[in-house]
């Protein structure tokens, strides 16, 4: 895997443990993951690095998801918010490649398919 294939992921939530399954899958797929426990921390990390995917949980206090949308709109990043279901959660797209998206929710295992599509997009853009 060369540098063009590295996908940077920002995990925004109340604890790193809330992302354990998703993080394992992402890191096995060659992603670099960073964690932020607040919007302010996420904003600081976004000033240091460009993230391709941002995953956010609903348990983050305040209107964090709206603030993240404002920060990421037009950036080329994809933003997903968690939705609790009986057996875990799904990732609901809010932005895809920096544009509003209300597509189908992804189960944790479906993130791998999204990563394949994301890498194809990278290759087309570079």
> Partners of 35 in the beta sheet?
11
Selection from 32, 45, 91, 37 nearest residue 71 by Cα: 45
> Residue 121 has what pLDDT?
73
pLDDT tens by residue, 57-114: 866 556 888 899 999 999 889 999 988 787 778 888 999 888 998 778 888 878 777 7
Residues 80, 24: Cα–Cα separation, whole Å: 17
What percentage of the chain carries pLDDT values higher than 90?
35
> Residue 56 has what pLDDT?
92
> Residue 6 has what pLDDT?
80
**pTM for the predicted model, two decimal places:** 0.86
Residues 46, 51: Cα–Cα separation, whole Å: 7
Segments forming the whole domain that contains residue 108: 3-125
Please state the length of the chain.
126
Q: What is the CATH number of the domain that holds 92?
A: 3.40.50.2300
> Partners of 82 in the beta sheet?
91
Q: How many CB atoms lie within 10 A of CB 1?
A: 9
Q: What is the 3-state secondary structure (H, E, C) of 53-103?
A: EEEECCCCCCCHHHHHHHHHCCCCCEEEEEEEECCEEEEEEEEECCEECCC
Domain count, the chain: 1
């Amino acid at each position: 895997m060369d540098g063009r294939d590295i996908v940077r992921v920002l995990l925004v939530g109340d604890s790193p443990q809330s992302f354990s399954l998703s993080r394992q899958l992402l890191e096995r797929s060659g992603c670099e993951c960073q964690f932020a426990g607040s919007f302010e921390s996420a904003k600081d990390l976004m000033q240091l690095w460009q993230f391709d995917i941002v995953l956010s949980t609903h348990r983050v206090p305040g209107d964090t998801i709206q603030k993240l949308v404002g920060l990421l709109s037009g950036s080329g990043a994809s933003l997903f918010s968690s939705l609790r279901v009986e057996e875990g959660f799904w990732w609901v797209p809010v932005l895809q490649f920096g544009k509003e998206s209300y597509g189908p929710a992804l189960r944790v295992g479906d993130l791998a398919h999204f990563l394949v599509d994301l890498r194809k997009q990278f290759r087309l853009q570079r």
